[in-house]
A and B are shown apart, each in its own frame.
Chain A
Amino acid sequence: MNGLVYQLQDVTKTYNGKQVLQVDALEIQRGEMLALVGPSGAGKSTLLRLLNFIETPTDGSIRFLGAAFDGQRQVPLELRRRVTMVFQRPVLLSRSVQANVAYGLQLRGRRQVDAQVREVLESVGLADLAAQDARTLSGGEAQRVALARAMILEPDVLLLDEPTANLDPYNVGLIEDIIRQINQRGTTLVMVTHNVFQARRLAHRVALALSGKIIEVDDTQRFFQSPRDKRTAAFVAGDMVY
């Protein structure tokens, strides 16, 4: 890991007068896999949307690949295209699997993409379903298409919002393998998960979010074995922390 991809400073997000996120400081290193854990409503998905520049912070600034952005400054398209996100519920277009995977490249004006699409579909084990209507896939297959659609873009950062929620253990295993592959290629990953075991299996670092604040960020081993905050200790122990 070398260099910072993200640097957040005093970032807040407010909806209708209610503050849902407050991050005093957070740094994300190039090539790392950071897991964001915490209960529902802790602001994890909001943080991902800010990191994806789909939404802008109410206050504070996000430095991305050296350039700082706040709520006022528009993120240039070229920079925005270096980060992409896979959502908890994969929203696929009503087209074939291969058309879905090729879509992001086509948004970038690329047309000759068949070979790339085939290669990526093979890497996620869906080459046989290339011509199938994407809306007829099972949950696990659809999530793998969503991952393939993101992988083909070779982003600097991939954001994952509970990518294995509601999937059976077999599909969870497949998707975790794909996530490892993506990270091994050098892509920085930020993953929201409710599954602390998954965070432990995959992540280099883990952050705990509670009530819109980042309580603790640490190396995975230290986070689970010697947490500094008592709320982290309770969360890791499986106690209710709200």
Chain B
Amino acid sequence: MPAGNAGFLLPDCRARQPAPQAPTTHHYIESGEAIINEILQGLIQAIQLILDGDPALTEIIALSLQVSGIALLLSTLIGIPVGALLGLTRFFGRRFVVAMLYTGMGFPPVVVGLFVYLLLSRSGPLGQLNSSLIPALFTPAAMVVAQTIISFPLVSGFTMAAVMGVDPQLRQQVMSLGGTPMQTAWAILAEARVGVVVSIIAGFGSIISEVGAVMLVGGNIEHHTRVLTTAVVLETRKGNFDLAVALGMILLGLSFVTNLAMLWLQGRNFNR
């Protein structure tokens, strides 16, 4: 792969690239040595792309973080209270709700993408409302909706498990000290904070790395809905394995840094 690939998505560079096509046999990696070379080249290229501050890459990373960040924020804002409620209360039908939640935790992203696609398409139940509140297909907002649906059950389910793992007598103790129901719930969540942060990490991991839903509802449109995962798919299909590996490395790096930050949020509890 020539060094000029650093600007791999800039228009002038794209003009020099062959048109996207199905990979031919010579594109396939044929030996273990070649695989290692591709990975090493990808690593070097990843570093080079970051150091060069490639604008196309920056745009893709920014959109990836923006879409997944907003989706994670929404699923956290909804998922943690729902998880806490399911962990702290007992009501008729709770088992059914929990079973639904557990099913949602294993829901394939591409199926979520398909449902969101059908809902938001012009002939779909939400799309035909033609409301400004309903995001259109092939927009970052549609990708946020899909990713929120993917991460919500994970955030909610893990939060519920973390809350249920807290000493049940803590609730009575906090109430006995004069806590209101809200203060009591907050105290229990604070005691379950390691598990709650794990729920957020799991939610983030599920969406930053998923490709099926964002491909379906986003469409991988350059400068508009292209994110790291869809760019990896595109470059792999084009046979640009080293570039695909480079993008994959950046994705891994982003995920690693984000998870490190969340572990830091867990604070000293992690080492106990």
Contact = CB atoms under 8 A, between A and B. Distances in A.
Interface residues of B, number: 18
A234 interface: no
A94 interface: yes
A87 interface: yes
A84 B176 contact: yes
A77 interface: yes
Contact of A91 (B169, B269, B272): B169
Nearest to A83: B176
A87 B173 contact: yes
B169 A87 contact: yes
B172 A49 contact: yes
A153 B177 contact: yes
A49 B172 CA distance: 9
Nearest to A159: B176
B102 to A, nearest CB: 27
Interface stretch (A24-32, A103-111, A168-176, A225-233): A103-111
Contacts of A108: 178
A77 B174 CA distance: 13
B175 A54 contact: yes
Given A91-B169, A94-B269, A107-B183, A85 B176 contact: yes
A81 interface: yes
B178 A54 contact: no
A77 B183 CA distance: 12
B170 interface: yes
B178 A107 contact: yes
Contacts of A107: 174, 177-180, 183
Contacts of A94: 191, 269, 272
Nearest to A135: B272
Interface string B177-198: 1111001000100110000000
B178 A80 contact: yes
A107 B174 CA distance: 9
Interface in A134-175: 135, 149-150, 153, 159
Contacts of B178: 77, 80-81, 84, 104, 107-108, 153
Contacts of B179: 107
A81 B190 CA distance: 22
Interface of A: 49, 52, 54, 77, 80-81, 84-85, 87, 89, 91, 93-94, 103-104, 107-108, 135, 149-150, 153, 159
Given A84-B177, A91-B167, 6 more contacts: A80-B178, A84-B178, A87-B169, A93-B191, A107-B179, A107-B180
30 contacts: A49-B172, A52-B176, A54-B175, A77-B180, A80-B178, A84-B176, A84-B177, A85-B173, A87-B172, A87-B173, A87-B176, A89-B169, A91-B169, A91-B170, A93-B170, A93-B187, A93-B190, A93-B191, A94-B191, A94-B269, A94-B272, A104-B177, A107-B177, A107-B178, A107-B179, A107-B180, A135-B272, A149-B177, A150-B177, A153-B178
Interface of B: 167, 169-170, 172-180, 183, 187, 190-191, 269, 272
The 9 tightest CB contacts between A and B, nearest first, are A81-B178, A104-B177, A85-B176, A91-B173, A91-B169, A91-B170, A107-B179, A107-B178, A54-B172
